[in-house]
Structure 1
Amino acid sequence: MVQPVQRPFLALFLRLLATGVLATLIMLVKYTSETGVAFAEILFWRQFPTVILILGWLALRGEIGRLRTRRLPVHARRAFLGLTGMCFTFGAPILLPLAESTTLGFTTPIFAVILSALLLREKVGPVRWLAVVLGFTGVIIIAQPGQSHIPPFGAFVGLGAGFMVALISIQVRDLGRTDESISIVFWFAALSSPFLLAALPFVISAHTPWQWFLLLSCGLLGCIGQLLLTASLRYGQVATVIVMDYTALVWATLYGWLVWDQLPPAATWLGAPAIIAAGAIIAWREHRLNQRTPPATASAGE
């Protein structure tokens, strides 16, 4: 099987762009929900325009064949996990302030270490375990169980988002070995949209022109963000590109201040560096391990 060419600097740049686009999308999801649009409908309009946009673009270029895949069952599993992950990822900022929900999402590398140890039976050394402890210490500082402004269910959803992204990133990386980025994004949207469509009769309502603009903007940004995100995983290792995700905290803080006049409390400023440091340590350690591992072995073990 031919492996995609690794271009680490391009992967980092694509991930940086994806982070900015998706941070804007999450802000719009939160704002759109507050205008009265049902959550399930927001998710549908986040997904369905992607199908139309990609089909239209490829049809104009005569390249529909780029969507051909021999791994439809794998795409279906990715769609199920992706739809579940979207519920957590977009549910967290609706339940929590943007900065807090974004920071809890940074637990992805921490969960990736735990999953690799429990599911893949990978040997995890003391450096990464200490990083896991550091990361969850940051979570406790932010959540402040029993005395925080953060609702427990919101904290659970925020952590769930980090967990699901860890699962999905590994699967997208695997699909990127054989399928183009545009194909991975298309099949995710195409296979998940019917489930969201089935929910629409129970939640749909009349919308103002402004609400329609917000919904269609969510769809457009979601398509662009997913293409950039998937491309970054095609050209670079998960452990390498994931460090760019931390720039989302800058966007979240900025949007929280400009749109909701909210700034993170002291607990978030204390806990966030611990979570970010944990993720950075894990990413650095993964990078060092990949450098020491022969390519054939690394490919077999991923």
Structure 2
Amino acid sequence: LGERVSWQTLATVLIGLLGVLVMLRPGAGLFDWAALLSLGSAFLYGLSQLMARKISDTESSTVMAFYQNGAYLTGALLVAGLFRLAGIEHAVHPSLEFLVRPWIWPALPDLLKMAACGFVASAGMILLSQAYRLAQANRVATFEYTGIIWSPLWGFLFFAEVPHSATVLGATLIIGAGLLAFRTERLRAAPPLLVPTGDTA
């Protein structure tokens, strides 16, 4: 993209990444081969946002969000069809079990919940695409780290799940990185100060 990355911006990205690593607690038994799926997903997601930044000069955020969601739907249908044709009924890892559950027709309350989820996700995709249109990708990425904070927050509010101390520490680092990025952006956008030359009329 040809974007210059200042040392302040690089520092905020690294601090945010450190916060994510603290929340994941490497070595605590949470990492296994299935984590590679998340790593691959993150890589492809980052690539998609770089592409969105690249085509933002010619396409609106709503158009980009539409095609992104269309790609997600197409990919999900292909994977579901392949699993169905292959007769895969049991996952080899617990985290993948939801992919091979038997298909059932959802009840009306569940349909409404899924529709609301789709609406919120689409709105978020539009806002995120607009953010990548207006700001440099490395700066937007810093604020995207805050997404990992919302999961434990909603878990606490709706399911009474108490977050681990590492989660709180990691969230603090991520919030600090976001505030630092915001301050850096404010200073960068501020008009230069006029220094008196000492000349008198």
- Aligned partner of 1:230 in structure 2 is 129
State the SS of the aligned residue for 1:183.
helix
User: Is the CA contact (8 Å cut-off) linking 1:143 and 1:155 kept in structure 2?
Assistant: no
Pairing of 1:108-147 with structure 2 (within 5 A): 124=5, 126-147=7-28
- Aligned partner of 2:49 in structure 1 is 169
- Aligned partner of 2:64 in structure 1 is 184
Equivalent AA in structure 1 for residue 170 of structure 2: G
User: Is the CA contact (8 Å cut-off) linking 2:16 and 2:174 kept in structure 1?
Assistant: yes
In the TM superposition, residue 192 of structure 1 has moved relative to its aligned partner by 4.5
In the TM superposition, residue 265 of structure 1 has moved relative to its aligned partner by 1.0
Query: Unpaired segments of 5 or more residues in structure 1?
Result: 1-115, 293-302
Pairing of 1:188-267 with structure 2 (within 5 A): 188-201=68-81, 202=84, 205-209=103-107, 210-238=109-137, 245=144, 248=147, 251-267=150-166
In the TM superposition, residue 285 of structure 1 has moved relative to its aligned partner by 4.4
**Paired-residue identity, %:** 26
Equivalent AA in structure 2 for residue 207 of structure 1: W
- Aligned partner of 1:61 in structure 2 is none
The Cα RMSD (Å) is 3.9
CA distances 1:108-145 after superposition (whole Å, capped 9, x unpaired): xxxxxxxx8xxx6x665544454455344434433333
In the TM superposition, residue 177 of structure 1 has moved relative to its aligned partner by 1.0
CA distances 1:12-37 after superposition (whole Å, capped 9, x unpaired): xxxxxxxxxxxxxxxxxxxxxxxxxx
- Aligned partner of 1:108 in structure 2 is none
CA distances 1:227-261 after superposition (whole Å, capped 9, x unpaired): 23323444455566666656656643442023332
Q: CA separation in 1, counterparts of 2:18 and 2:68?
A: 34
- Aligned partner of 2:199 in structure 1 is none
Equivalent AA in structure 2 for residue 278 of structure 1: A
Equivalent AA in structure 1 for residue 54 of structure 2: D
User: Is the CA contact (8 Å cut-off) linking 1:239 and 1:282 kept in structure 2?
Assistant: no
Equivalent AA in structure 2 for residue 174 of structure 1: K
Q: CA separation in 2, counterparts of 1:205 and 1:176?
A: 38
Q: Given the superposition, is the C-alpha separation of residues 145 and 245 from structure 1 closer, same or farther in structure 2, using an over 3 Å criterion? A: closer
Query: Unpaired segments of 5 or more residues in structure 2?
Result: 85-99, 192-201
User: Is the CA contact (8 Å cut-off) linking 1:138 and 1:271 kept in structure 2?
Assistant: yes
